[in-house]
Amino acid sequence: MNFIATPFPARGPDAPSEWVRRWSHLVPSGAPVLDVACGAGRHLRWFQALGHPVTGIDRDPLAVQAAAEVGEAIAADIEHGPWPLAGRSFGAVVVTNYLWRPLLPTIVDSVAPGGVLLYETFACGNETVGRPARPDFLLRPGELLSACTLLRVVAYEDGFLDGPARFVQRITAVRVAEDGLSPARHPLRALS
């Protein structure tokens, strides 16, 4: 799959995450994409431009209003209320800059067979460089790996990034389709 030319900035608050852009090629063609805690929809816009139907969840009404311009947008407090997408699965589930540990199993369960989880958020150590700094919002070493034991991990990183300075943990993991065919190929390539 070749990357298509899109009008997205490479950096800034409206730019899709470099991690999400790098691994977007693993999302099955035309598969629905879910963005958890989607904000105004930067990743929804990215995946819509790649030809995917998109769904976003956020508790902020203004963010949901902006996300609704791109696809299905659901206003829900997923930390204190029921999961609004029970029984649905997606070709990709995207989570960036968000952590609510009780929801991790639900997020993993929302990945359809053949689908991919793209997760990137802050990790321990971030308290030394800025916010978030509370342990409730920082992944412990290896925590995403532990959450994804039912998935096949394609890529994982846990470390420090410059510009802006932050500690992150990120994972790309696939739910292997049980179709009896030869092993799936998950191309490893740098972002072009």
Please give the pLDDT value at position 186. 74
Residue 189 has pLDDT above 90, yes or no: no
- The 10s digit of each residue's pLDDT in 2-14 is 344 445 445 555 7
Instruction: Note the pLDDT tens digit of each residue in 18-76.
Output: 999 999 999 999 999 999 999 999 999 999 999 999 999 999 999 999 999 999 999 99
Mean pLDDT across the chain, nearest whole number? 89
- Least Cα distance to 77 among 93, 91, 98 occurs for 98
From 11, 64, 72, select the one nearest 47 (Cα to Cα): 72
Of how many residues is the chain composed?
A: 192
Q: How far is CA 38 from CA 51, 63, 135, 151, in A?
A: 18, 8, 22, 23
- Quote the pLDDT of residue 133: 92
Q: How far, in Å, are 138, 156, 162 from residue 166 at the CA level? A: 11, 16, 7
Over residues 91-132, the pLDDT tens digits come to: 999 999 999 999 999 999 999 999 999 999 999 988 999 999
* pLDDT, tens digit, 9 for 90 and up, residues 15-31: 899 999 999 999 999 99
| Residue ranges with strand state E in the chain | 33-36, 54-58, 72-75, 90-96, 111-122, 152-161, 166-174
Query: What confidence category does residue 177 fall into, taking pLDDT thresholds of 50, 70 and 90?
Result: confident
Q: What is the pLDDT of residue 15?
A: 87
Sketch out the chain's domains with CATH numbers: 19-119+140-150 (3.40.50.150)
Percent of the chain, pLDDT > 70?
88
